[in-house]
Structure 1
Amino acid sequence: MLEIRNLHVQIEDKKILNGLTLTVNDGEVAAIMGPNGSGKSTLSYVIAGKEDYEVLDGEVLLDGRNLLEMDPNERAAAGVFLAFQYPLEIPGVATMSFLKAALNSQRKARGEDELSTPELMKRVRGAAERLQIPQDMLKRALNVGFSGGEKKRMEILQMALLEPKFCILDETDSGLDIDALKIVSDGVNALRGDKRSFLVITHYQRLLNYIVPDTVHVMANGRVVKSGGKELALELEANGYADYRTQAA
């Protein structure tokens, strides 16, 4: 599925990633944990194609294709989805219009027919019901006036509709109360499958009680310094990151 080889990245002449290497297999949920400034969010942005980050060396391969040679829209059409830590409000853009444009744009890029309005409405309403998103939210401008939990649920709704191959969740638990966390996690877990992989970025083990990972990777100073099973997250919760900062220095 995804293979990252010796990735070196900087922004404004500041080195962030220092030879990061990581593999996420088909159907795998991989968690990335690490202290602030370790490069976790930078990794998510580079995979998705956010501007301003300069790749100095390395490859990011999705099913053998180098994502670094593709524009962000091409990466999205290839199956990459990024759920942001802080989803943006977009005044003047109706939520349903956004969902229709995003879904049909990707279908067109893949050579598929666009969805009719009735079929789109059926899909959106079904997915929204499962995520406990009220219909009035779908009638508003995208994310405008939404709570933190509502914004996160809206991103999981987008993910459910787009059905990506590789999903990146960048601190999705940030700002969520326990009820919203359960709803969002249930939405993610419903999408798990043999042909879809996840990279879950988080500071805290709490999220991993609900989205149970297959593997956990610790990042420090821009690279992966340790990998293990889900029990590694419990170790980090108990002991913190001090030992790994020293190891990566």
Structure 2
Amino acid sequence: MCESILKVSGLRATVGDQEILKGVNLEINPGEVHVIMGPNGAGKSTLANVLMGHPAYEVTGGEALFMNKGLLSMKVDERARAGLFLSFQYPQEVSGVTVENFLRTAKKEVSGIMPMMGRFNATVKSEMQSLEMDEKYLARYLNEGFSGGEKKKSEILQMAVLAPKLAILDETDSGLDVDAIRVVYEKVQALANADNAILVITHYNKILDYIKPDFVHVLVDGKIVKEGDLGLANTIQSSGYEAFRASV
């Protein structure tokens, strides 16, 4: 097993003429759940997109190692095949591609083997049951006509099926009601194990009722300015980000 799943050192990135990430340092080891919190505009989603290889962002400095390999030189599909997964804040609709076909094809691409239909469908339906999703969604086009909560559950279903080494969840709680937050994050916690890692990006403390991070990081103005445990999230809940802004 590699020493760390992800090691980010001095990562800097821009979009257009604006520098968003200003030297991010982050290390995630197998078996760990990390939470990144921060005010709007701090660079949380930018970090997620840069790690996944979104072409709108330009990396201008630093490095990122994924499973001891240079992540930033890899294409997006190579990152996915290597075991990196991103749950989008705003999942896109894909007309003409059913959820079932998408999941089976994606599983083939990351594993190199086309899964057997019967066994695969049984696994998918079991995962759907734990997410309180009706099996009818398998026959629907990916995210087309889905509610916000249904889209987010669909993302976590993908995570469950693909079993990535590192799952980055970018404000998956956004737009979810209290019941859906419980279902989604109880499932996320259940998917955590000694061989993978999870990075949750959020500004909503409510999710911490259902997921227990090993580390909490505060991202302000493009830098991680504070790291701690669950107590740090409680401090943010009571005092906000003002004290952390002063430390930038």
Sort the TM-score into its range (normalised by shorter chain): over 0.9
Alignment RMSD: 0.9
Q: Alpha-carbon deviation of 1:116?
A: 2.1
Equivalent in the alignment of 2:65:
61
Q: Deviations over 1:13-50 (max 9, x none)?
A: 11000011111121111110001111000000011111
Equivalent in the alignment of 2:157:
157
Equivalent in the alignment of 2:147:
147
Structure 2 Cα separation of the partners of residues 95 and 232 of structure 1:
38
Match of 2:93 among 89, 97, 104: 89
Equivalent in the alignment of 2:126:
126
Structure 2 Cα separation of the partners of residues 204 and 121 of structure 1:
34
Q: Deviations over 1:63-118 (max 9, x none)?
A: 2111101001110111100011111111221111111111111111xxxx321222
Moved over 6 A (4+): none
Q: Deviations over 1:125-145 (max 9, x none)?
A: 121112111011111111111
Question: What's the TM-score once normalised by structure 2's chain length?
Answer: 0.96
Q: Deviations over 1:182-216 (max 9, x none)?
A: 11012111111111111110012111121111110
Equivalent in the alignment of 1:222:
222
The letter of the residue matching 1:83 is S
- 1:225 aligned counterpart, secondary structure: strand
Equivalent in the alignment of 2:183:
183
Q: Does 1:18 align with 2:22?
A: yes
Q: Alpha-carbon deviation of 1:241?
A: 0.7
Q: Alpha-carbon deviation of 1:147?
A: 1.2
Match of 1:79 among 54, 79, 83: 83
The letter of the residue matching 2:232 is L
Structure 1 Cα separation of the partners of residues 55 and 151 of structure 2:
23
Q: Alpha-carbon deviation of 1:162?
A: 0.3
Match of 1:3 among 7, 19, 23: 7
Bigger mean CA deviation after superposition, 96-105 or 119-128:
119-128
Q: Is the 8 A contact 2:83 2:110 kept in 1?
A: no
The letter of the residue matching 1:4 is V
Unaligned 5+ segments in structure 1 are none
Structure 2 Cα separation of the partners of residues 141 and 24 of structure 1:
34
- 1:68 aligned counterpart, secondary structure: coil
Q: Alpha-carbon deviation of 1:61?
A: 0.8
Equivalent in the alignment of 1:51:
55
- 2:247 aligned counterpart, secondary structure: helix
Structure 2 Cα separation of the partners of residues 195 and 185 of structure 1:
19
Structure 1 Cα separation of the partners of residues 95 and 108 of structure 2:
21
Equivalent pairs, count: 244
Structure 1 Cα separation of the partners of residues 204 and 181 of structure 2:
13
The letter of the residue matching 2:24 is L
Q: Is the 8 A contact 2:13 2:22 kept in 1?
A: yes
- 2:55 aligned counterpart, secondary structure: coil
- 2:236 aligned counterpart, secondary structure: helix
Structure 2 Cα separation of the partners of residues 134 and 204 of structure 1:
27
Equivalent in the alignment of 2:41:
37
- 2:176 aligned counterpart, secondary structure: coil
